């Protein structure tokens, strides 16, 4: 945007790029990509100039939805394909999700594994585990549950899962039901936000179970969160603070400090995007 504004003198772009217009810039940018800005305001430039202005395509990170103990030669992913029309009616798709969805079986796909040393199930077989996942944020927790089952860990496991509609968005419903029936998933609390008039999210379910959740934390449970960083993860963090205040008798300041201690001790770990 700065490059085009400099080349064209476009007043709208210059106004949006002012430091005091961050809110308007965010609203204007929503749904737009660099190609849309260029199409709306054509600029002639050399290939080298464009290469310096446009950032390189970054890798897309996905949580692994399997355990090497149960699938030693495979890595499972949970991918939601992104497809939408931008504000000007142009069809857009997610670069990686649409690529994976449209790639023929057996085609080579370049991948690499990025280590996440702290986002993994508890090593102690007696440590309870609480997992909070919204949408495809459920991905790692399927692997976590299979990992604990394969290792013979008998500590209780609790999953909060949220999506829009139970009918079409209850990912891994059969697997989770089987794990619960087998005794490897002690509690499963779901929040399908669009299935009733009032919106219900995972943080609401956490507050409903606040007393029990606080008891699990006092018993040494490890807490994991996976999903959207901008909203869900922050709302979950606020819900945990509220639970510490309501059921732990802590002040808001002490509750925040308590969560910081959990994080420092690797008992409260997040994989957010």
pTM of the model: 0.89
Q: Closest Cα partner for 245 from 268, 212, 211, 199?
A: 211
Domains of the chain: 2-53 (no CATH), 129-272 (3.40.50.80)
Q: What is the three-class DSSP state of 223?
A: strand
Burial class (CB in 10 A: 0-12, 13-18, 19+), 26: exposed
- Reported as a single tens digit per residue, the pLDDT across 171-225 is 999 999 999 999 999 999 999 999 999 999 999 999 999 999 999 999 999 999 9
pLDDT tens per residue across span 107-144: 999 899 999 889 999 999 999 999 999 999 999 999 99
pLDDT in tens, 59-114: 899 999 999 999 999 999 999 999 988 877 888 899 999 999 999 999 999 899 99
Query: Taking 90 as the threshold, does the pLDDT of residue 242 lie above it?
Result: yes
DSSP line for 108-155: -----PPP-TTSS--SSTT--EEEEEEGGGGHHHHHHHHHHHHHT--S
Structure tokens given for 230: 């901008």
Phi, psi of 201 (to 5 degrees): -125, 175
Mean model confidence pLDDT for the chain: 95
Please tell me the predicted confidence (pLDDT) of residue 55. Answer: 85
What sign for the dihedral angle of Cα 186, 192, 198, 201?
Answer: positive
User: What is the predicted pLDDT for the residue at 30?
Assistant: 83
What pLDDT does 153 receive?
Answer: 97
């Amino acid at each position: 945007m700065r490059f085009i504004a400099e080349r064209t003198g476009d007043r709208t772009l210059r106004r949006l790029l002012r430091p005091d217009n961050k809110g308007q810039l965010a609203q204007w940018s929503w749904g737009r990509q660099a190609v849309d800005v260029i199409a709306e305001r054509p600029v002639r430039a050399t290939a080298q100039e464009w290469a310096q202005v446009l950032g390189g395509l970054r890798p897309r990170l996905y949580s692994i939805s399997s355990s090497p103990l149960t699938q030693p030669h495979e890595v499972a992913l949970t991918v939601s394909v992104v497809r939408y029309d931008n504000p000007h009616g142009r069809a857009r798709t997610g670069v990686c999700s649409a690529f994976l969805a449209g790639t023929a079986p057996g085609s080579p796909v370049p991948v690499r594994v990025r280590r996440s040393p702290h986002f993994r199930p508890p090593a102690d077989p007696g440590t309870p585990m609480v997992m909070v996942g919204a949408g495809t944020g459920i991905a790692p927790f399927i692997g976590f549950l299979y990992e604990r089952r394969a290792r013979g860990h008998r500590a209780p496991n609790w999953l909060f899962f949220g999506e829009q509609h139970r009918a079409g968005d209850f990912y891994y419903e059969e697997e989770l039901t089987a794990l619960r029936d087998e005794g490897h998933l002690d509690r499963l609390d779901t929040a399908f936000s669009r299935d009733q008039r009032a919106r219900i999210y995972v943080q609401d379910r956490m507050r409903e179970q606040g007393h029990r959740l606080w008891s699990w934390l006092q018993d040494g449970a490890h807490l994991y969160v996976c999903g959207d960083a901008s909203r869900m993860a922050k709302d979950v963090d606020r819900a945990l603070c509220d639970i510490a205040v309501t059921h732990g008798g802590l002040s808001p300041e002490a509750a925040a400090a308590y969560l910081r201690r959990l994080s420092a001790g690797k008992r409260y770990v997040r994989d957010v995007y």
